[in-house]
Structure 1
Amino acid sequence: MPGTTMRHRPTQPQVAVPRTLEEALDPGWLSAALAEVSGGQAVTSVEQVEVIRTVATKVRFAVTFSGSDARHGFCLKGLLDVDEMTARGGPTCVLEADFYCKVAPTVPDMRVPECVAAVIDREGQQSVIIMRDLIVDGARFCSALEPFTADDALLSLTQLSKLHANSAFLDGADWIQPRAAQLAQMTYVTPEMLQELLNGPRGDNLPPEVRSAARLGTAMKALAARDSERRQFMIHGDAHAGNIFRTAEGAGVIDWQLLQRGGWALDVAYHLNAVLPTEVAEHEERRLLREYLSLMRGHGLDMPEDEAAWAEYREAPIYGFYLWSITRRVAPDITVQFTDRLGKAVMRHESHALLGVA
């Protein structure tokens, strides 16, 4: 943005991507990976602080460098100690590394972790990133199940608007793909598999017409087709509560493995209906949508008028509902809550009917 200072770009050290936690915390490897951060000083000690294993592993650790007793806190994220199937998700780690190397420096007023190094193996499609440990500086990461208030949601929506407003970046950035279109065409989750998932606990509080895998698959294809004809924005794609952190300065956003191009409503409808309890979303979402549109106009963008925007918003919960309906490798309580909230949004907004699905 004119008159704005660029954010520091991460270094990209030419070292191998570690495949295990032991390799990632090896002092020799960290000395090479953090050489530009340390001024070439070797890592003399490594203390593991916390390990969080979901699909990717996030490890908080502290190091000291040669010539000083000062402790420096970092957080490393990557696919560590995973099986061959999970390792196939490596391209999403490369995508996140590219976000920090290419996108984040162009949006300095959006609050994200400071990434100091990105180790990328483009041929092998694997990557790890090393960030400053925000918790050391007092940040708090929200849990995936943490209920937001409307005011909380507006703070995080404000951060997303800054990303969306930077969508001119998409020109020439073909590496940022239309994820909704890809999801609509994917075949690794068959209709039968999807129906089995929806027949489980995640669909317990949803009516049969919303639990129908056939209707959901058709609606996802219809949404992707309609969305591809609309103005494309750079969107987060997975902005649930677990990907939000809070500092004294306000909210911030993490986890950029689903960075994508798509309509603004995909992000906004997903975010509000994932983070807000259903009864809060039902009462507040239209006001929050107007706030979002005002933020975007304040960034200098022409946005749809309120009623047209509301119609786009009402279609869009299908994206998040589909994403969580096919999810299989996340804790069941998280999967159930998000599928339930987004499914109820689909029902409340009559998203199928708006997309022409009988």
Structure 2
Amino acid sequence: MSEVPSHARPSEPKVAVPATLAEALDPAWLTQVLSEYSGGSAVAAVEQVEVIRTVATKVRFAVTFADGLMANFCLKGLLDVDAMTARGGPTCVLEADFYGKVAPVLDMRVPTAVATVIDREAQQAVTVMRDLIVDGATFCSALDPFTADDALMSLDQLSRLHAKSAFLGGAGWIRPRAAELAKMTYVTPEMLQELLDGPRGDNLLPDVRSAQNLVAAIKALADRDGARPQFLIHGDAHAGNIFRTTEGMGVIDWQLLQRGGWALDVAYHINAVLPVETAEAEERRLLDEYLAMMRGHGMAMPDAEEAWAQYREGVTYGYYLWSITRRVDPPVIVQFTDRLGRAVMRHGSFGLLGIS
């Protein structure tokens, strides 16, 4: 696997976090935000290139500075959203803090952030990055099938993240997401059952399609996972959060950055990116390759059988995450819930967690 350069720390200008797309593309505001990048040259012109609206908005734009310098950026944040969506602001703060605090210590491919704008009191933030597409990268689609060789390359990137888990010692702000999901109440068991009764659960057996079983399983997994060694993990490493460059793969979208067992990331990743038949045929080999990578990074890892057991339990995390998802395109939700739910069936994950 090719080496990855270290990342510079982005600036953190003390300006207001924009609430609208118009505010984010305002030349006067961008002049302040990009001052360190431009050496103080004012923004003379801004051209909007592309806007992608999911929960957060990503806007690609080109800037011309007063001294003639031209550059392309991508800004990500909650723009033009309702009050309910704005409550997701802490995840944007988490992502900004990833770029400001974690990315500089990593040797993995991530976007180059040039500035983060954070309002910690209001718990809102935006991140301004170099435009990866202009720099030659291509983004994978959430529905793109990976090959096993593709998964091996993306697991290499995850192993580089996991190997930096000593960072957690001084980072109480990175939370155990699985434990928090197990305690959340905004999706009730009744609501979850209604979701699972829809197309996302069509190929799943009744015991795996049961909200009662799934809620019990994520609680059992959180308890077990919290008692194991904690790693720095991505938490949402599906294909839509992977990009490709001529040098190799990289990882985006750090809004679910968390501490947890390595298996939460690995089991989710393999079963989300690979078609079911490929995952079934290749997952044991890929797990062994991942464990070898981690040992190569100097990390103590469980033996093959204990790792396999943690992997088989850990796929429950990804299944739960996608079972409760609502604000994503339905075909994406259906594919990931199906792939991960069928992995839960294949591995008997609920039974391993003591749920019958």
Q: Shorter-chain-normalised TM-score: which range?
A: over 0.9
Distance 1:17 1:327 in 2: 27
- Whichever residue aligns with residue 8 of structure 1, its letter is A
Instruction: Kindly state the Cα deviation for residue 6 of structure 1 after the two structures are TM-superposed.
Output: 4.9
Structure 1 counterpart SS, 2:170: coil
Task: Mark the CA change 1:168 to 1:270 in structure 2 (over 3 Å): closer, same or farther.
Answer: same
User: What residue identity is the alignment partner of 1:324?
Assistant: W
- Structure 2 residue identity aligned to 1:311: A
Alignment match, 1:71: 70
Deviation at 1:71, TM superposition (A): 2.4
Measure the CA separation in 1 of the matches of 2:81 and 2:6: 35
One-letter amino acid matched to 2:89: G
**Offset from partner CA, 1:67-96 (integer Å, 9 cap, x none):** 21x421000000000000000000000000
For 1:319, the equivalent position in structure 2 comes to 317
Code of the aligned partner of 2:49 = V
- 1:211 partner letter: R
Task: Give 2:91's aligned amino acid.
Answer: T
| Separation in structure 1 between the aligned mates of residue 292 and residue 232 of structure 2, nearest angstrom | 18
Cα deviations across residues 227-247 of structure 1 (Å, max 9, x unaligned)? Answer: 000000000000000000000
Q: Are residue 87 (structure 1) and residue 82 (structure 2) matched?
A: no
> Shift of residue 172 of structure 1?
1.9
* Residues 1:247 and 2:227 are matched in the alignment: no
The whole-number CA distance in structure 2 between the counterparts of 1:103 and 1:320 is 23
Q: Find out whether 1:310 has 2:308 as its counterpart.
A: yes
Deviation at 1:137, TM superposition (A): 1.5
Partner of 1:104: 103
Distance 1:229 1:10, change over 3 A: same
Structure 2: segments with no counterpart, 5+ residues: none
Which position in structure 2 is the counterpart of 1:261? 259
- Whole-Å separation in 2 of the counterparts to 1:302 and 1:124: 40
Give the superposition deviation at 1:7: 2.3
Structure 2 SS opposite 1:274? helix
The separation in 1 between residues aligned to 2:135 and 2:58, in whole angstroms, is 17
d(CA) in 2 for partners of 1:331, 1:283:
28
The CA deviation at 1:26 is 0.5
2:16 is paired with a residue whose SS is coil
Q: Distance in 2 between the 1:15 and 1:39 partners?
A: 17
1:42 — aligned with what? 42
Corresponding position of 1:184: 182
The question of 1:126 aligning with 2:124 is answered: yes
Q: Return the alpha-carbon distance in structure 2 between the equivalents of residues 328 and 6 of structure 1.
A: 36
Instruction: Indicate the residue corresponding to 2:195 in structure 1.
Output: 197
Which residue number in structure 1 is paired with residue 329 of structure 2? 331
Equivalent residue letter for 1:52: I
- Paired residue secondary structure (1:316): helix
Q: Structure 1-normalised TM-score?
A: 0.98
Quote how far apart the aligned CAs of 1:5 are: 7.6
User: Do residues 19 (structure 1) and 11 (structure 2) align?
Assistant: no
C-alpha root-mean-square deviation of aligned residues, in Å?
A: 0.9
Return the TM-score normalized by structure 2: 0.98
Q: Provide the rounded CA distance (Å) in 1 between the counterparts of 2:70 and 2:255.
A: 29
Deviations 1:103-125 (A, max 9, x none): 00011x21000000000000000
2:291 aligned partner, one-letter code: L
Match of 2:350 in 1: 352
Q: Distance in 2 between matches of 1:71 and 1:50?
A: 17
Q: What is the distance in 2 between the residues matched to 1:84 and 1:90?
A: 10
User: Which one-letter code corresponds to 1:37 in the other structure?
Assistant: Y
Give 1:162's aligned residue: 160
Cα distance in 2 for partners of 1:205, 1:246 equals: 31
2:75 aligns to what SS in structure 1?
strand
The residue aligned with 2:52 is: 52
- Secondary structure, in 3 states, of the residue corresponding to 2:321? helix
Aligned to 1:143: 141
Residue 207 of structure 1 and its aligned partner are, at CA, apart by: 1.1
Alignment size in residue pairs: 353
> 1 CA distance for matches of 2:111 and 2:256?
17
Matches of 1:225 and 1:136, distance apart in 2: 44
Structure 2 counterpart of 1:342 = 340
**Structure 1 residue 302, shift from structure 2 partner:** 1.1
CA distance in 2 between counterparts of 1:276 and 1:71 reads 39
Structure 1, unaligned stretches of length 5 or more?
none
Give the residue type in structure 2 aligned to 1:258.
Answer: L
Tell me: CA distance 1:258–1:120, structure 2 relative to 1, closer, same or farther (3 Å): same
Aligned mates of 2:5, 2:329 — CA distance in 1: 40
SS in 2 for 1:135: coil
